[in-house]
Structure 1
Amino acid sequence: MEAQEVIITQASYLASAVNPSQYPAVRLPEFVFIGRSNVGKSSLINSLTRVKNLARVSSQPGKTQTINFYELGAKRAGADERKNFYLVDLPGYGYAKTAKGNRKIWAKFIEEYLTTSKELQFVCQLIDIRHAPMASDIDMFRWLVARGIPVLVIATKADKLGKTAREKQVRVIKQALGVPELSVLPYSSLKNEGRSDLLDVLGDALLQ
């Protein structure tokens, strides 16, 4: 039987943190979003939740400097059961204009979160579909895989390319990350393309 469509029932900003004492007290499943600065993370979060300006979209890369927790509810269409979970937005990596000292601090608290969270389900790593993954993208992917953290690669800004170019770039991403069988999900925040696919993945993890 085909699974019913997954619906986001509510979404709200909950907390910002730079150390474990600031993490939400209530434990819920966590789905993490990470990517280079300006990859379109905030736009994707707003598209996924359909809450305008839930995540602040900035033209200035490197704006997110804390771990931001959003509390979301999800259910399958026609079902009563609703599951709450956290969408966790991590600071962008690989942006040169952020002071080196800052980057080291960010790296430490990001690493601490990713390696100690007991509720972490998987990481959505966002990569701009228009370009081959950069060294920082590849390093982050390998770092996550080496620690046994499940990764879903999302190719953002998919509306910027035609179908053939999109397919080619997905192959480029797989090749650069060294995993030919890797699942890459093209996403357009502008057109909400890929939204139902991403919701299905979240629903499969949440709503057994």
Structure 2
Amino acid sequence: MTAESTLVDTNLFLKPWIFIRGVPAMKFLPPEGPPEIAFAGRSNVGKSSLINALLIQKGLARTSNTPGRTQELNYFVPDGYSGAADDLPPLALVDMPGYGYAQAPKEQVDQWTKLVFDYLRGRATLKRVYVLIDARHGIKPNDEEVLDLLDKAAVSYQLVLTKTDKIKAAGVPRLISETLAKIAKHPAAFPEVLATSSEKGVGIEELRAAMLRAARD
């Protein structure tokens, strides 16, 4: 990467980002345009907090202590682009509904789940999914189900450990190694695990760089 491209990349995250659309069903998806990077994870894994940290905007993605608050595919893009074919943003970020638990009727939870899975299977502009794993709990059975689905859909994904400030620092390298061993059998998994803390700012720059590389691939 040249010095000039590094500056451009950095400026992308320094720009104001805006929420453009909440998608409750596939028919409401925006037209395919810029490369899309999506974030998935169990409810309350810290997706919204991580997105806010990545984009340096505290209240952009809504955070809540109530699992299942994010009920749609929420689209974010850097501000200042017209949306025309010759003036598309270089990247769109998608916050997906949490899986595994939600304080809502089962029918509604099933509807959210179907939306997410249909999106993963059918979006040509989706470049990578970042699957967030709470460092305190590691990979759970419902995470494994999502990884299997991503493998079957041949969607590139990378695991991101969240809330690493909540465990002992000495345990983070071991947790990364254990997580890498668990995903070794998954063909669509990117063979690198990122460790982050939204609260402490740990791993944010590394995740930004990974997102930009994935968008360019």
Common fold: TM-score over 0.5: yes
Is structure 2 residue 130 aligned with structure 1 residue 130? no
Structure 1 position 154, deviation (Å): 0.3
CA offsets, 1:31-51, max 9 Å, x none? Answer: 000000010000000000001
- Report the counterpart of residue 160 of structure 1 in structure 2: 166
Equivalent-residue separation in structure 2 for 1:197 and 1:31 (angstroms): 15
Aligned AA (2:73): I
Q: Match for 1:56 among 56, 62, 73? A: 62
Report the TM-score, using the length of structure 1 for normalisation: 0.87
Structure 1 position 2, deviation (Å): 6.1
Is structure 2 residue 197 aligned with structure 1 residue 188? yes
Indicate the SS of the match to 1:59: coil
- Report the counterpart of residue 205 of structure 1 in structure 2: 214
Indicate the SS of the match to 1:15: strand
Assess if the C-alpha contact under 8 Å between 1:130 and 1:169 holds in 2. no
Q: Match for 2:91 among 65, 85, 89? A: 85
Is structure 2 residue 148 aligned with structure 1 residue 139? no
Report the TM-score, using the length of structure 2 for normalisation: 0.84
Is structure 2 residue 36 aligned with structure 1 residue 30? yes
Assess if the C-alpha contact under 8 Å between 1:129 and 1:170 holds in 2. no
Equivalent-residue separation in structure 2 for 1:204 and 1:167 (angstroms): 23
Is structure 2 residue 25 aligned with structure 1 residue 16? no
Equivalent-residue separation in structure 2 for 1:132 and 1:71 (angstroms): 30
Equivalent-residue separation in structure 2 for 1:84 and 1:197 (angstroms): 18
Question: Whose strand proportion is higher, 1 or 2?
Answer: 1
How many residues are paired up?
Answer: 202
CA offsets, 1:9-44, max 9 Å, x none? Answer: 231101001223312236211000000001000000
Aligned AA (2:156): P
Assess if the C-alpha contact under 8 Å between 1:42 and 1:56 holds in 2. yes
Structure 1 position 193, deviation (Å): 1.1
Equivalent-residue separation in structure 1 for 2:104 and 2:183 (angstroms): 25
Aligned AA (2:77): E
CA RMSD of aligned residues (A): 2.5
Question: Whose helix proportion is higher, 1 or 2?
Answer: 2
Cα distance 1:25–1:146, how it changes in 2: closer, same or farther (>3 A)? closer
Indicate the SS of the match to 1:152: strand
Structure 2: stretches of 5+ with no match in the other structure: 80-87
